[in-house]
Chain A
């Protein structure tokens, strides 16, 4: 109740502030691409002879306020578009424009560079990467298409644990601490079991904002990082699409107008449907006969659909949904699968007579996963999420204020087998209420962006106040300093321990019944996990399109809930004297991650280079010990090269070299007394089982990892709108033997994927 009162008071304050702020004249509107009717993101909108530049958001919206009545010349510039200019006469309190800009076939290099610098100087981009389809396409295609999962691996600070069931660790944060949203809705398990495939077709991604640390108040509910994906709308002027097939699978994309956008109007309805599926499980034995016994038994199918409408004034309403599925079937050993569904709607509008942009979305997502292992009872997990969000913003001359209110209902269900061989089902429900406010104040040389996120976790009866701050100082047009800090809270935890290296399955849970009740002498009354981030960096634009970024970061995960690998007793009355550390399913931990990330980004017309280096340190502490988590990779280098020798032909290469992950060595082997259910009545004279005595936890190191992927692409233009792209590539080009796992008893080793040549063809129309 206290929380609800607090949120209502906050909202009233916000609305009052917005009312006061709105007493001015302004120009607002949307910028669209004239060719396909899509909103243009990050177009620079400027009034000639005035300093102020604003940038359009994902819906193409912009606003310039604090103006007086009169006539202004409005100029719009965006990378890849012809400059646009228009005389605007303001008579009333505001003017709403609908601007369509034409794509340009010629990109002037200087304009491109200065545009990026200008945009960068006005945005806080600390620890953040803004990716679009073109950026993602820089990585060599494995299985025909460059994929987000492959590009994420080259971002400094992101560690990936392997081709098969590998996990992403973003600046020291485990996968469950990373939130991935698709058009605002949380997506559980966005990566396929095969490791280098995400559920997203690169061609449907409008923008993917990756925040590796220090993200601001607009994001909450996760401790470590955010990947915020926005999908594109269907073409509003003509039907487009692609049909592709390659050695791993196939993909289909079709989008176009249902009601066509006319040149003088914005009203339109468009559709977009995409499906990608795989058949690698069937053809791998034929085309890769040298694969080990594990083979490539992976199967996936990803559907995404979207209907988008644009109103007369540019307001937008869209409906979207997805159905993603994945299966890994290692015959008798392990069979795991998951299915993820969602349906949602998003509204973007500027109410008549108002300067606010109102955004709202509502959606429901569902995730179900299971695992069947030899000799074990199946495990299942379910995660259902209902989300509704409404947000707006107010704008003064050099100040922006954004706020949003979100309510989400989450239920988790996890089925597992306890030590007594009893199938247990743990279900948890929570309704989270979340409100944030974020202020952006632009000074002559710096930008200050304080924010606060208030998160009410109803099932825990806990309110988390999460202040955030981002700061940027532009020393000069080419050198800037960035800083960000903040507190973060999260209630969701997974049934995967940070001690597990690869996982094809993880259950989800938000309850409190199964966790440690005391940690280092302090009572633990809830399962809220908490962290602090601090990140600082320098970015400089050298001449000749060379950009250098250096960042240092620290994340203090001062309370984590982790799956208990030390559990040896059942949590029953009989064991009431046993400490929680040895009997609870989940324990409390804390830990630090810190490091240095460097990025060199160079691009010219025929060559681009992306060189990232990460130096990272991670540690964790539980009730009794301090240890190194398995993702504590010290060095990680990623080199990405794109080379265009002739028009329509490109060669892409990615080389990754990184130091080995820690692992626990064997101290020795021993013969263990039989542990089956007949133990009580078996004689000590019968033979035992071979077991392992472990050495100190994670004090060994795996060998260095390195791998080279190469692909070549040739685009053949058939007509003005139809083209064929032929591609061929090779993954792990020099067949490096990077270890996947090792049988501790026999010493038998299974490596990650060997050399995998692949080829494909995409017809675009």
Chain B
């Protein structure tokens, strides 16, 4: 199980000052917890592209932001991500929830096909997430349990070493 308590403890351990993003069903509990947390400033945006640009400004101003969005929003905000965190080489960790992750069990482990993107039993945004991250050269790790929280700490460290954003994919609903 992945809990808000473990995530908030981890964010504080790595010094996160601001969380910027948009909630979905699997991150709803995290957004409620962030809204009540006195140590991390929550900025809820109207579109995901805003999240990347706002996080970039926060980092340039000396803060340590985290982006929290759904995979649908990542695709919507592709150019904002390219034009800010990637192009500016900013060490920001982005949590991306994996809508449709379980539906991927219905497809073979082979290159994606046009037919699969319109199948009713496969969520196309799930099928496109990891290929998109690889195309954008964005390092990523899957997190689905409290025991995986160490991956967030490692991602922040890598972001700092590489001066480059890192993605943590949230593959389970946060409780």
A, B bound? no
